[in-house]
């Protein structure tokens, strides 16, 4: 684990319980942190959010923290934060689940730096989407 990510995790874990977004490290070296709060064990919406985070990490240089709900008492799980902004939360906006396109739009608007080259995960996703389309089309 990188020292910055470790320090970030410790900063978030030391945050006192309160309602709202995390008050700990929401930014590292000028870059907003994507924080995912997941249920224990993670289920459908949490798994979706983690998949979205993995796909985003293949395209953008953004710090990502995934926290179990027991270590994030300020939040309803599942929840997604970008910096201090609540993007999705259980029982609230988007009922705790985000999409890749939604998060990519937000990250693009914020001007997050891109990876020097995309990861393999995006290539696999493209192939999977093509397969799904072929199945739906009856081909």
pLDDT tens across 94-118, in order?
Answer: 999 999 999 999 999 999 999 998 7
pLDDT, tens digit, 9 for 90 and up, residues 117-132: 878 877 777 787 888 8
Average pLDDT, the chain: 83
Q: CATH number of the domain at 38, please.
A: 3.40.30.10
Number of neighbouring beta carbons within 10 Å of residue 5: 15
- CA neighbor of 23 nearest in space, from 37, 11, 9, 36: 11
pLDDT of residue 53: 95
pTM: 0.73
Q: Are 62 and 112 in contact (CB under 8 A)?
A: yes
The structural domain count of the chain equals 1
Owning domain of residue 48: 3-137
């Amino acid at each position: 684990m990188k020292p910055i990510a470790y320090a970030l995790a410790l900063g978030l874990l030391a945050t006192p319980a309160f309602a709202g977004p995390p008050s700990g490290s929401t930014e590292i070296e000028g870059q907003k942190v994507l924080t995912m709060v997941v249920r224990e064990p993670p289920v459908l919406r949490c798994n979706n959010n983690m998949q979205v985070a993995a796909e985003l990490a293949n395209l953008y240089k953004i710090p990502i923290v995934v926290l179990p709900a027991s270590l994030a008492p300020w939040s309803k799980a599942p929840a997604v934060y970008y910096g201090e902004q609540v993007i999705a939360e259980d029982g609230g906006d988007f009922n705790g689940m985000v999409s890749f396109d939604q998060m990519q739009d937000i990250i693009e608007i914020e001007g997050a730096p891109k990876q020097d080259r995309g990861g393999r995960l995006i290539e696999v996703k493209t192939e999977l989407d093509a397969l799904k389309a072929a199945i739906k089309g009856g081909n």
